[in-house]
């Protein structure tokens, strides 16, 4: 319930997730951004409750060839409180015929009497139509509002939208004489086909007809729709009859009355798509199965969706078993719509419209839309503020369904780690959601889904399922509040004795979803007493750890413990709850030579820290091949992910964290490796200005080379996608570390471009090869890339130039390359570079020490010329100061920036506060470096010496 199109949010989430080894495409399998609950425009236009709708009678006439529609609607109302006005939602794009507007009283002695209208207003800047009367409407009486309207059909997907697609004409059978022609004579141009559809979520019904466009108003609809004879209409309900219009070209389809439903679940599609023919066995089964499943697609695409009906049935059956009650639908239409541009399907009641690619594989997307038929259409959140609970349940149950059907093959094992790691990352910032406020709603949905997963473990799957079944009982065609879910789970947990009577699920859940934070649990064992002190506090990665009131933040945390002497990861019983208390004690733990693991399999969304001895016991156990696999994949990944992130946050010694990576020499599971790439990137960027960085790169090479060479040696034509992704990641990081075979391969590919007769005509080099060449290659190769940017033809795709520009600045490790680029763009003011280009370069230079230190020296050495050049370009000046001064992490860097600040005090203008903030941040990062770099260097020295590292395969 409640989804909005993506733009900047998608980009930021993609950037946030890429370091974690997940592309946006992979993440999108799991998530959709849900911003409507945070949209201020929705709450601003909530209607008064004096009048309540009881039904709609709606006639629509969309005109395909003119991109317009007309219609009429009769809305029956019950007057709950005397009022002299009727307020309806009506978008400003919708033209309402105010002269034909009527209001009549119905259902009593005065039934049929027109109510005199004083005036009709359209409220400025709000999508409201207000009808004023001379006298107040009578409380308890029923009325009917009758309106006519016209509107436009747009190509976007808000309200009614239109689209076109092409497909090959069907070939007619030919006689011998016709078939004797040439092959070219049989070729036909593709036919163009048109369609019209609706997308009313979250509040776009008002674009099509005046209505009560709020989810809490659930009433029946009687609908008729005009269509061309060449097309058919799919609607929420089945067709009742078809009526002739008299023009010979159009007919009117009249549909069965809908069940009570919200306006956002209303939907129809006018098209000439064809029904995918079910197999004979499917047809026999359809006689017994309700609802009847029909799949629709263009003729050329039908083979791609031939199995969709079976997949829908299987997912539907699993969900019906889960809910314990079937969907009260007579039919369910599933459509593969060509050219459908929305990021998520249109999940109307009884009609789900997908973009074609979303129906190609897997069960998750299908299951999610089926869940929305139960929660969203049949049972609806009362208002958009409760939509996050609805969406979280849908996300959890969809993943659960997909995993139960085929093991969740489409996730490649990454559920729930994809959303879990992004939550860890976002909520451990000093200022979560600081980049985009609207991300808050999405991360709230994600965290709520993880809390549901935690409850499924801690209450037990059977109790959790019965609790959700209890929740939907007696709410058919009604609405709910988020609290209703938690209350139903509480009652079931008490009944099943899975929760003590003094505790409610509301208490547990509210401690998690009301804070934009997550906790960190620390376990310190007393080995002699076989006890452990467990404490909780706010988890913060970013420094300084100065979040206000962090000492007051406490959570309800389930403590699930696995012990070495009883390795049983199937037992997820909570041995103790931290009931919003700072500290508890665990008793009867194993002996001093045996480890414990708290929160295995990421049962709860929180990292766990241990004392050094327990960490080392774990590290030793994981290095033994016979014992390593006794710990499941998710738990191995968690231990590694927690250790490195806690070290990065300053809560764990880096020596201990590095020890936890020693078992990766034997590890080949991609889920365990994914956090390693993230942490190599984070730590590498942080220390790349120090002398330790060279040793760190040698460690990375030693860690990754066996993995990569094994993956290359075992490469097969048909292999799992995760192997290809893992090989690509390993190669990428080895290239960055100077792995010679990778550099040489990249240079061979790049040389083909340099040797081409017309290098500006196009780029024949794969993107993966460009950065290694610009980083490790010659001055000539880099200069060639620069000239391609300068001479880039107008006719080529601009994104290719942007990528070249980013790699020219962001990849080189040699200052002379960067200095050359800065001189051309800033001092020479070359006309080939726009202000946006310069801003992009500054941003790319902030990604590594060679970039920002060269930029700093360029600024220092050319201060006066740069000040003059950027005199009236404050944004560029601010960006430059930020990128040139904000990324240093050592005392040497602090001294450099401080000297520049003193030397030019009063000359920074709009960037004065930027450099002051930089100095504050560098001081904090310097403390981190002083504390951690000696520890990291000591560990690396020991590791490299004990492994006899050879460097013949590497540059740098």
Catalytic (active-site) positions: 369
Query: Among candidates 544, 542, 539, 541, which has minimal Cα distance to 554?
Result: 539
What's the Cα-to-Cα distance from 699 to each of 192, 220, 707, 943, rounded to whole Å? 59, 67, 13, 8
Backbone angles phi, psi at 856, to 5 degrees: -60, -50
Count of residues making up the chain: 956
Tell me the pairing of strands 479-480 and 380-381.
parallel
Whether the bond between 695 and the residue before it is cis, its omega within 30 degrees of 0, is no
* Among 593, 578, 562, residue whose Cα is nearest residue 507: 578
Instruction: Count Cβ atoms within 10 A of the Cβ of residue 757 and give its class: 0-12 exposed, 13-18 middle, 19 or more buried.
Output: exposed
Q: Are 840 and 806 in contact (CB under 8 A)?
A: yes
Beta-bridge partner residues of 535:
522, 583
Specify the DSSP class assigned to residue 147: E
Rounded to 5 degrees, φ, ψ at 833 are -120, 125
Whether 198 contacts 266, CB under 8 Å: yes
Read off the tokens for 816. 């002379």
What is the rounded CA–CA span in Å between residue 118 and residue 104? Answer: 14
Contact between residue 841 and residue 825 where contact means Cβ atoms under 8 Å apart: yes
For 714, counting Cβ atoms within 10 Å of its Cβ (0-12 exposed, 13-18 middle, 19+ buried), the class is exposed
Listed residue (349, 372, 346, 376) closest to 358, CA to CA: 346
Rounded CA separation 385/261 (Å):
19
Q: How far is CA 204 from CA 157, 210, 214, 846, in A?
A: 9, 11, 10, 43
Q: How far apart are CA 548 and CA 544, in angstroms?
A: 12
Closest CA to 201 of 399, 313, 351, 87: 351
* 3-state helix/strand/coil string of 265-313: HCCEEEECCEECCCCHHHHHHHCCCCCEEEEEECHHHHHHHCCHHHHHH
Three-state SS string across 540-584, please? CCCCCCCCCCHHHCCCEEEECEEECCECCCCCCCCCEEEECCCEE
Q: Which of 326, 418, 288 is nearest to 364 (CA)?
A: 418
- Cβ–Cβ under 8 Å, residues 189 and 153: no
CA dist 202 and 158 (Å) reads 9
Cβ contact 87:49 at 8 Å = no
Residues 428, 540: contact at Cβ < 8 Å? yes
Q: Where are the beta strands (DSSP E) in 679-766?
A: none
Is-contact 396 467, C-beta < 8 A? no
Please tell me whether residue 814 adopts helix, strand or coil conformation. coil
In sequence order, the β-bridge partners of residue 70 are: 61, 150
DSSP letter at 646? H
Q: Residues 6 or more apart from 601 whose CB is under 8 A from it? A: 569, 572, 632, 634, 635, 638
Q: CB–CB of 489/467 below 8 Å?
A: yes
> DSSP state, 537?
E
CA distances from 665 to 131, 222, 622, 641, 941 (A): 74, 66, 10, 16, 18
| SS3 of residue 371 by DSSP | helix
Structure tokens at 60: 């629509």
């Amino acid at each position: 319930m409640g989804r909005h199109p993506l733009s900047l949010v998608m980009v930021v989430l993609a950037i946030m997730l890429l370091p974690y080894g997940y592309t946006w495409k992979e993440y999108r399998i799991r998530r959709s951004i849900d911003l409507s609950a945070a949209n201020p425009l929705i709450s601003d236009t909530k209607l008064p409750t004096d009048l309540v709708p009881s039904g709609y009678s709606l006639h629509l006439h969309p005109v395909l060839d003119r991109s317009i529609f007309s219609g009429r609607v009769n809305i029956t109302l019950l007057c709950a409180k005397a009022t002299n006005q009727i307020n309806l939602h009506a978008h400003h794009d919708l033209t309402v015929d105010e002269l034909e507007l009527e209001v009549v009283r119905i259902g009593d002695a005065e039934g049929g009497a027109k109510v005199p209208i004083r005036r009709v207003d359209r409220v400025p800047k709000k999508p409201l139509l207000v009808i004023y009367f001379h006298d107040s409407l009578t409380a308890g009486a029923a009325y009917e509002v009758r309106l006519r309207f016209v509107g436009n059909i747009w190509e976007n997907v808000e309200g009614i939208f239109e689209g076109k697609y092409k497909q090959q004409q069907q070939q007619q059978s030919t006689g011998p004489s016709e078939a004797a022609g040439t092959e070219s004579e049989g070729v036909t141009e593709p036919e163009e086909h048109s369609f019209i559809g609706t997308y009313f979520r979250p509040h776009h019904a008002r674009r099509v007809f005046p209505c009560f466009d709020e989810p809490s108003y659930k009433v029946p609809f009687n609908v008729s729709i005009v269509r061309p004879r060449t097309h058919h209409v799919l609607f929420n309900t089945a067709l009742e009859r078809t009526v002739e219009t008299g023009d010979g070209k159009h007919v009117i389809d009249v549909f069965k009355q809908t069940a009570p439903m919200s306006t956002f679940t209303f939907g129809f599609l006018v098209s000439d798509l064809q029904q995918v023919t079910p197999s004979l066995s499917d047809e026999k089964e359809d006689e017994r199965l309700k609802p009847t499943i029909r799949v629709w697609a263009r003729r050329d695409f039908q083979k791609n969706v031939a199995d969709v009906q079976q997949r829908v049935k299987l997912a539907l059956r699993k969900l019906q078993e889960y809910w314990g009650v079937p969907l009260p639908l007579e039919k369910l239409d599933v459509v593969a719509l060509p050219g459908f541009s929305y990021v998520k399907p249109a999940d109307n009641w009884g009609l789900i419209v997908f973009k074609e690619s979303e129906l190609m594989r897997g069960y998750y997307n299908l299951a999610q839309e089926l869940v929305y038929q139960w929660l969203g259409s049949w049972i609806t959140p009362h208002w958009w503020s409760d939509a996050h609970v609805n969406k979280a349940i849908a996300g959890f149950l969809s993943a659960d369904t997909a995993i139960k059907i085929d093991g969740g093959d489409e996730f490649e094992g990454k559920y729930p780690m994809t959303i879990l790691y992004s939550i860890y990352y976002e909520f451990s910032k000093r200022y979560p959601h600081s980049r985009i406020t609207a991300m808050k709603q999405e991360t709230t949905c994600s965290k709520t889904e993880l809390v549901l997963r935690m409850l499924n473990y801690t209450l037990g799957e059977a109790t959790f399922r019965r609790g959700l079944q209890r929740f939907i009982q007696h709410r058919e065609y009604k609405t709910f509040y988020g609290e209703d879910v938690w209350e139903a789970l509480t009652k079931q947990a008490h009944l099943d004795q899975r929760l003590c009577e003094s505790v409610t699920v509301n208490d547990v859940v509210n401690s998690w979803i009301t804070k934009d934070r997550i906790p960190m649990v620390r376990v310190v064992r007393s080995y002699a007493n076989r006890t452990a002190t467990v404490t909780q506090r706010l988890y913060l990665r970013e420094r300084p750890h100065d979040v206000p009131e962090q000492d007051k933040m406490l959570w309800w945390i389930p403590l699930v413990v696995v012990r070495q002497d009883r390795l049983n990861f199937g037992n997820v019983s909570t041995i103790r709850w931290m009931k919003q208390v700072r500290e508890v004690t665990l008793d009867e733990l194993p002996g001093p030579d045996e480890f414990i693991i708290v929160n295995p399999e990421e049962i709860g969304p929180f990292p766990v820290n241990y004392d050094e001895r327990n960490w080392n016991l774990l590290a030793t156990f994981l290095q033994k091949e016979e014992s390593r696999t006794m710990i499941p994949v998710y738990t191995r990944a968690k231990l590694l992910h927690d250790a490195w992130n806690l070290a990065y946050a300053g809560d764990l010694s880096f020596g201990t964290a590095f020890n936890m990576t020693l078992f990766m020499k034997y590890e080949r599971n991609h889920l365990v490796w994914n956090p390693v790439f993230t942490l190599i990137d984070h730590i590498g960027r942080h220390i790349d200005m120090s002398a330790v960085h060279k040793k760190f790169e040698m460690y990375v090479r030693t860690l990754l080379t066996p993995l990569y060479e094994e993956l290359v040696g075992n490469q097969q034509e048909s292999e799992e996608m995760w192997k290809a992704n893992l090989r690509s990641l390993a190669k990428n990081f080895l290239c960055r570390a100077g792995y010679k075979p990778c550099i040489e391969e990249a240079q061979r590919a790049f040389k083909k471009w340099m040797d081409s007769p017309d290098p500006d005509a196009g780029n024949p080099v794969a993107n993966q090869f460009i950065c290694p060449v610009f980083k490790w290659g010659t001055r000539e190769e880099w200069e060639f890339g620069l000239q391609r940017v300068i001479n880039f033809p107008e006719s080529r795709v601009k994104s290719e130039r942007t990528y070249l520009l980013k790699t020219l600045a962001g990849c080189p490790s040699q200052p002379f390359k960067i200095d050359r680029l800065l001189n051309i763009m800033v001092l020479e003011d070359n006309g080939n570079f726009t202000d946006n280009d310069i801003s992009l370069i500054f941003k790319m230079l902030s990604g590594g020490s060679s970039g920002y230190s060269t930029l700093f020296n360029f600024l220092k050495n050319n201060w006066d010329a740069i000040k003059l050049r950027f005199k009236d370009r404050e944004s560029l000046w601010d960006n430059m100061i930020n990128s040139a001064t904000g990324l240093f992490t050592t005392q040497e860097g602090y001294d450099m920036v401080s000297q520049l600040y003193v030397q030019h005090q009063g000359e920074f203008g709009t960037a004065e506060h930027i450099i002051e903030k930089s100095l504050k941040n560098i001081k904090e990062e310097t403390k981190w470096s002083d504390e951690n770099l000696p520890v990291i260097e000591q560990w690396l020295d020991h590791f490299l010496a004990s492994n006899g590292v050879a460097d013949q395969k590497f540059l740098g």
